[in-house]
Amino acid sequence: MRLELGHVLIKDVQFGNETKLEKGVLTVNKEELINLIKEDEHLASVDVDIAKPGESVRITPVKDVVEPRVKVEGPGGVFPGILSKVDVVGSGKTNVLKGCVVMTTGKIVGFQEGIVDMSGPGAEFTPFSKTINLVLKCEPVEGLKQHDHERAVRFAGFKAAAYLAETAKSMTPDTVEVYEVDPFLKGIEKYPNLPKVGYVQMLQTQGLLHDTYVYGVDAKQIVPTIMYPTEIMDGAIVSGNCVSACDKNTTYHQMNNPVIHDLLAEHGKTLNFVGVIITNENVYLADKERSSNWTAKLAEYLGLDGVIVSQEGFGNPDTDLIMNTKKIEAKGIDTVIITDEYAGRDGASQSLADADPSANAVVTGGNANEIIVLPKMDKVIGTLDYVDIIAGGFDGSLAADGTITVEIQAITGATNEVGFNKMSARGF
């Protein structure tokens, strides 16, 4: 499987009479984009705004973040099973609008969405203070059910990203990155002396709007399976999560997963990156046992020497994380886990809800309970109505002067568990 990612570098985003891309400047016809999104009868109103790095702007509540990508050559299209037909993606050529994203906000579905500040101390904890953000504010029709509301906002982000990415379909990219992974047996023959490494990616699937989709299928319904790493870069996995902002994988995180990128960078040099095993994080014990059994079985079947396991979320999924680690280690396969911590505001509490001596190689994204004071911003995109009740907030988080005191749990991507964040520590 060979994929060429063409990076079209975006220097600025602005509104204009025509949606086009020239010399790194993306011009967006605001009315045309709004009309496209409002084709969904579940949305009563849609507005679009732009937030740029360094501005005194706060975006909240943030639902999802999507990087615009378009399939230029090869099978399928970006977001298969969602916007494109269900072809196997991850090969051919895909162009990327690099440096800008689509972000969704508006009336909240659950109560766990996040904050993105474009400047100030909070900006240091989120990667999305460094991107130019085209923000959709979507308001649902009266009486809309929660899952229909979530789906409407989710699809709005995907449709907007696809709409913008079309401007780069026929463009020559500024840079091109090539990723290639061989079929299993060919890869074993090609790199006989390199350690065989796999990546176990745990997907948030706790239900009650804690959803991740694989080729359009709710991952609660899957059993662990194997994917080429490049499939994920074409949007085969997307977020439908309304969970704690600090460690949920937005669709942007899925498409730019640094674990996958780093393993591919070493593939054929220091290791043989055999592939990705995706697994879920369901709530019933039988489901946890089944998924962790299958995950360990697949790691053994592939003959892996080492595995990296990344978690999504905390609390209940800590059990899945430890189950996966114990069972993979019991197969004689070395395991490193990536997680984050909920160790209390003083850092003195137990970091994970579960533990085992076999989980002795850990990378952490930081302590989500750490407190931060976010200064007032000159402009808010979205609404401050939910600041006191989002995960990481509390009664009185929003002060009368506009400052916000919250745990960094409330900042989108602050302790991300694929490592796309500022903080980390390692212990062996």
Question: pLDDT tens digit string along 250-269?
Answer: 999 999 999 999 999 999 99
pLDDT for 424: 63
pLDDT for 178: 97
Q: What percent of the chain stands above pLDDT 70?
A: 98
DSSP 144: -
Mean pLDDT computed over 90-111: 92
Q: What percent of the chain stands above pLDDT 90?
A: 92
Condensed to tens digits (0 to 9), the pLDDT of residues 140-157 reads: 999 999 999 999 999 999
Question: To the nearest whole number, what is the mean pLDDT of the chain?
Answer: 95
Condensed to tens digits (0 to 9), the pLDDT of residues 169-224 reads: 999 999 999 999 999 999 999 999 999 999 999 999 998 889 999 999 999 999 99
Condensed to tens digits (0 to 9), the pLDDT of residues 321-348 reads: 999 999 999 999 999 999 999 999 988 8
Which of residues 109 and 210 earns the better pLDDT score?
210
pLDDT for 168: 97
pLDDT for 108: 78
Helix 146-165 with 30-37: angle, nearest 10 deg: 140
List the structure tokens of 391. Answer: 């995960």
Separation of alpha carbons 127 and 22, rounded Å: 25
Q: Yes or no: say if 99 and 131 are a contact pair by the CB < 8 Å rule.
A: yes
Q: Yes or no: say if 373 and 387 are a contact pair by the CB < 8 Å rule.
A: no
Condensed to tens digits (0 to 9), the pLDDT of residues 216-241 reads: 999 999 999 999 999 999 999 999 99
Mean pLDDT computed over 282-289: 95
Tell me which residue of 34, 223, 204 sits closest to 110, measured CA to CA: 204
Confidence class of residue 71 from pLDDT cuts 50, 70 and 90?
Answer: very high
pLDDT for 208: 82
Separation of alpha carbons 419 and 116, rounded Å: 18
pLDDT for 426: 54
- Decide: helix, strand or coil at residue 320: helix
- How far is the first Cα of the chain from the last one, in angstroms, to the nearest whole number? 34
Positions marked catalytic: 242
Predicted confidence (pLDDT) at residue 428 exceeds the cutoff of 90: no
Confidence class of residue 425 from pLDDT cuts 50, 70 and 90?
Answer: low
CA atoms within 13 A on the CB side of 112: 17
Per domain, the residue ranges of the chain are 2-179+186-410
List the structure tokens of 300. Answer: 């053994």
Q: Yes or no: say if 373 and 403 are a contact pair by the CB < 8 Å rule.
A: yes
Tell me which residue of 167, 180, 181 sits closest to 134, measured CA to CA: 167
DSSP 174: S
Confidence class of residue 350 from pLDDT cuts 50, 70 and 90?
Answer: confident
Q: Yes or no: say if 103 and 136 are a contact pair by the CB < 8 Å rule.
A: yes
